Chains A and B, each alone.
Chain A
Amino acid sequence: MAAQSTIEHRESSAPARTPAPAARRRAGAGASLLRFARSTWRPAAVLAAIFVVWWAVTAADLVKPYLVPSPGTTLDVVLAQTGYFAHHTWITSYETILGFAIAIVVGVVSAVVMVYSPTVEKSLYPLLLFAQVIPKIAIAPLFIVWLGFGLTPKVVVAVLMAFFPIVISTVTGLKSIDPEMLQLSATMGAGPGQTFTKIRFPAALPHLFAGLKVAATMAVTGAVVGEFVGANEGLGYVILQANGNLDTPTLFAGLLIMSLLGVVLFVAVELLEYLVLPWHASRRTDAATTSL
């Protein structure tokens, strides 16, 4: 009886011990977005500072305008030909996103197959490594020969670039599962499918997202590399043309838009991560600081 009452005492004191009620941390997408915004203002400030320096350097005439055009000139170039830039940006975006999407599907599927079949893993791994170490710029011309002048070879190069980090991170994630979790699943009578969807895959998501973030930037690079080798549209083509004409403002505009494309894709993946994994450890630190 005495012990019984101490339990009740403890339970009634428990809420005070728990820092954040679940409801607050799990307020939904709104809270996730807010935390996301909080975590992005710093890099945004750094980026702004770089622009200010760029502007200051050109405004003070420290370098020749034909070597480094001012931010204003660069912006004017874009505004003067919005249709032109929009078209080429769209082409590169299309190749990048399509390549990224294919890389995700192919990468995740091959990772799953490799984790479940050691035989496949052993035979596929050297092939993967080979595909990774071979310089893409060197095989890109071959793809042009094989696949023509259109968008396909660019998408293929983007896939090749983005694929590797996705496979590696997914394999790592799926393998890092606590064996006790799998045993628990077995005592629940779960089949391999249930174990995968309810335990193993969700547990691998933090690793997978880390890989996706690297892959997102690689996909942009891949698409542009593809365009460098042979294209009549896309940002890579714009940059090459501008370079040939010593048209540095257009060159800068192309470079900036290209970088922006990479950043947007990266941020989109990060945003998705915040929405999908509000529970992940890396999110908890800022959850605690918000109450300060």
Chain B
Amino acid sequence: MTVGNTTTQRPDDATSTGAAVEIDQVAVRFRTKKKDVTALRDVSLRIEPGEFVSIVGASGCGKSTLLKLVSGLLRPSSGQVRLHGEDVRGPRRDIGYVFQRAALLEWRTARRNILLQAEMRRLPKAQVRQRVDELIEMTGLTGFEDAYPNELSGGMQQRVALCRALLHRPPVLLMDEPFGALDALTREQMNVELRRIWRETGTTVLLVTHSIAEAVYLANRVIVMTPRPGTVAEVIDVDLPVERDYGQTMSEPAFARATGRIRDLLGATTTAE
């Protein structure tokens, strides 16, 4: 029952097919007028379909950059990124992306914000309507379908963003600090919901977070990154049952071991976190 699987890289299979996400020796350098910034260096990862992977690391270590690479919003300076075995060359539409801020259109109601996904993808209306109702119910937004974003609480706005990201049943869901702006209680509740949604949908999830508890509670594996230039410090296998009650999980020894290890790693590599 060891918690920390202290390999920086999973031993890749000879055949690299079958993985949901593969990142191979990737480096990202940003060239600005003043100086060059190496955001990521030598990052290699392999994420299996249906996995829930959390990413933690100091601010500015390249977590958002990593998600942008996977979604194709950003090209690596070197190395390769593959999604379902396919090279990522431009923005990918077979993903769902949840940004740190809900990024809702303020002139659209909750429902119509969710429907934006369908409109952009030109999905048939009739089929989508039922799916939206399901998602609204699943995320507890019932009764607020016709509210505008400014009439919704922060947690509700994030739920709308989550529904929008799930509408087209993406095989891969990328979430960049989606609950960062929420109060502790709402955040815990969103965690429980996200865990349930993940189990119901079987989506591969990559979640960036600053909360160690959130990272461990939700994930099968936690990727701990070093400060800039970011690389993978350690990948931690979370040894918790699939069925995770929130309160009970917090008091599990395996939970304490995992969070402790992550805290050590982050503490050892950063001055204050």
A contact residues vs B (CB 8 Å cutoff): 1-4, 6-8, 10-11, 14-15, 17-23, 25-26, 178, 180-181, 183-190, 194, 198-199, 202-203, 277, 279-281, 284
Contacts and interface: CB of A to CB of B under 8 A. Distances in A.
Contacts of A23: 146
Contact of A26 (B146, B189, B245): B146
B73 A183 contact: yes
A118 B157 CA distance: 35
Interface in B237-272: 245-247
Interface string B54-83: 000000000000001001010000000000
B121 A189 contact: yes
Nearest to A202: B107
Interface of B: 68, 71, 73, 91-93, 95-97, 99, 101, 103, 105-107, 109, 116-117, 119-121, 140, 143-144, 146-148, 150-153, 156, 185-186, 188-189, 192-193, 245-247
B128 to A, nearest CB: 13
B245 A187 contact: no
Given A14-B156, A189-B120, A194-B120, A3 B188 contact: yes
A22 B106 CA distance: 13
9 contacts: A3-B245, A7-B189, A17-B153, A181-B103, A184-B103, A185-B120, A187-B92, A189-B91, A280-B107
Contacts of A26: 146, 148
B101 A187 contact: no
A172 B214 CA distance: 40
A22 B146 contact: yes
A187 B147 contact: no
Given A3-B189, A6-B189, A17-B153, 11 more contacts: A2-B245, A7-B189, A10-B189, A181-B105, A183-B73, A186-B91, A187-B73, A187-B91, A188-B116, A280-B107, A284-B150
A281 B192 CA distance: 33
Nearest to B100: A180
Nearest to A2: B247
A151 B105 CA distance: 43
Contacts of A8: 140
A3 B101 CA distance: 25
Contacts of A185: 120
Contact of B147 (A18, A183, A194): A18
A178 B151 CA distance: 20
Q: Which 7 A-B pairs have the closest CB atoms?
A: A189-B93, A186-B91, A188-B120, A3-B246, A190-B120, A22-B147, A279-B107
A8 B142 CA distance: 12
Nearest to B246: A3
Contacts of A284: 150
Most buried by B among A178, A186, A188, A279: A188
Contacts of B140: 7-8, 11
Given A185-B120, A189-B120, A189-B121, A3 B146 contact: no
Most buried by B among A1, A7, A8: A7
B151 A19 contact: yes
B129 to A, nearest CB: 18
Contacts of A25: 148, 151
